[in-house]
Chains A and B, each alone.
Chain A
Amino acid sequence: MLHLFCPYCQELREEDEFHYRGQAHIVRPKDPESLSDKEWGDYLFFRHNPKGIHHEMWYHVSGCRRFFNVTRNTVTYDIYETYKIGETPAVTAKEETE
């Protein structure tokens, strides 16, 4: 069971209190109508799914009801950081910084 630090509550809390909400930093297109079906489908359904560092959203459903981001290793399940929506992660996979 994961132990997540809620950046709003400023406490480590049990996974039971949270909902996972998938890949973080997906921005909704500003003008969806201008997108091709391919671009729109990519936005809707296609995900990074990396083995290693992953930026993802969690929701503190049984707590402060805030969404926040987590940088987690999908192999070891180590959590490197949690940060508020709108902030940028400090820990990133190599290729992302290229």
Chain B
Amino acid sequence: MSRYSVFSLFKHALSHHENWQKVWRNPTPKDVYDVVIIGGGGHGLATAYYLAKEHGITNVAVVEKGYLGGGNTARNTTILRSNYLWDEAAHLFEHSMKLWEGLSQDLNYNVMYSPRGVLNLGHNLQDMRDIERRVNANRLNGIDGEVLNAKQVKDICPLLDCSDRARYPVLGASWQARGGVARHDAVAWGFARAADSLGVDLLQQTEVIGIRRHEGAVCGVETNRGFIAAKKVACVTAGSSSLLAKMVGMELPIESHPLQACVSEPIKPILDTVVMSNAVHGYMSQSDKGDLVIGAGIDSYTGYGQRGSFPVIEHTLAAICEMFPDVRRVRMNRAWGGIVDTTPDASPIISKTHIPGLYFNCGWGTGGFKATPGSGNVFAHTIAKDEPHPLAKPFSIDRFHSGHLIDEHGAAGVAH
């Protein structure tokens, strides 16, 4: 892999950019791999990268039915934070956050990790109790966090209406300064390029249509390009997880729902931080291009259509106008939908299964982007060692039978 730097850019400029190397190969599938990862989104690519880098397993294929990073990685609102309530979730997301902090350098690809801070607003007294509880837990878990009052919130985010005028006035917020955003496409491409350079085969336009077993254990995948043998198969397919599970007769505690987002036209910078409100139900940041990036709510019904109902967008923009009345004349440029894999407790599943050699990483729901490096990292460990990474252990699928849920719904943790 030729390294990227300002010098390489200058060198290539002299030759009219005619000699850039391909970011990744477009290989033909081998007959057999040690590990086949199904799903070429951020999590799958990160899994492949860490398998190769940290566990020396390079005979790996990432099998993607469309194009790399084309699912939820390409469709999310790029928010990063680790201020989750429960210890299990907090440790997992904080593990991810630490990886974000050095990711551009690790991958030699600028993923534009931008710690511009995340505000989670409180609009009623119970919100504020929940914020106190979560921030206190975060701090004792070694995660940065502060509880702010309305005035402090206003100082950090002047655009936000913190007056009594609002239907649900802002009473305060939690603030995680290390939270922020990253460039979603770059994350997928950076992991893909780095994994490819370590020998991982990235197989795009390759759709898995079956999972083959031999004497109970997994032995490979049937694809539209033929059978690919594999000692281990790892599914990282978000909204499509149930479909893969079904191929081996499994059912998952997962429902796939449309989740929508939208962006405004690009405008000059007015918002430096990420602002999230669960009670009013809007969240917004501003991209480096100037777009206001707005997350809408999840659609109540299940769906694989990558589009949701328009009233969800209407309600979201009503919430945004309520929180930021100055932007009511700004215009929405584009709205889109993804398919999110939700679990009953709003926490992910990173798990072995009862089938030897088959692993699942799914259930990230509305909040998977922030976990990309951490998820890949602990999943790679789980696959390589055939035993859960200590941070992944609580996220086993068994918890839905034992009852040991990590219920982020029930608590203050915003599930976005």
Contacts and interface: CB of A to CB of B under 8 A. Distances in A.
Q: Do A and B come from one complex?
A: yes
Given A42-B401, A74-B302, 16 more contacts: A2-B301, A19-B300, A20-B300, A20-B301, A37-B401, A44-B400, A45-B253, A47-B242, A48-B251, A49-B252, A49-B256, A51-B242, A51-B256, A75-B303, A76-B305, A77-B303
Interface string A54-94: 10100000000000000010111100000000000000000
Q: How large is the interface on A (under 10, 10 to 19, 20 to 34, 35 or more residues)?
A: 20 to 34
Given A19-B300, A20-B301, A46 B400 contact: yes
17 contacts: A1-B309, A2-B301, A15-B311, A16-B311, A20-B300, A40-B401, A41-B401, A45-B400, A46-B251, A47-B253, A48-B251, A54-B302, A56-B301, A56-B302, A72-B301, A74-B302, A76-B305
Given A15-B311, A41-B400, A50-B242, A74 B253 contact: no
B304 interface: yes
B307 to A, nearest CB: 8
A28 interface: no
Q: Is the interface of A mostly helix, strand, loop or mixed?
A: mixed
A6 to B, nearest CB: 16
Interface residues of B, number: 24
Interface of B: 240, 242-243, 246, 251-256, 300-305, 309-311, 344, 400-403
A75 B302 CA distance: 9
B302 A49 contact: yes
Contacts of B301: 2, 20, 56, 72
Nearest to B398: A41
A84 B253 CA distance: 26
Contacts of A41: 400-403
Contacts of B300: 19-20
Nearest to A2: B309
Given A1-B310, A38-B401, A46 B252 contact: yes
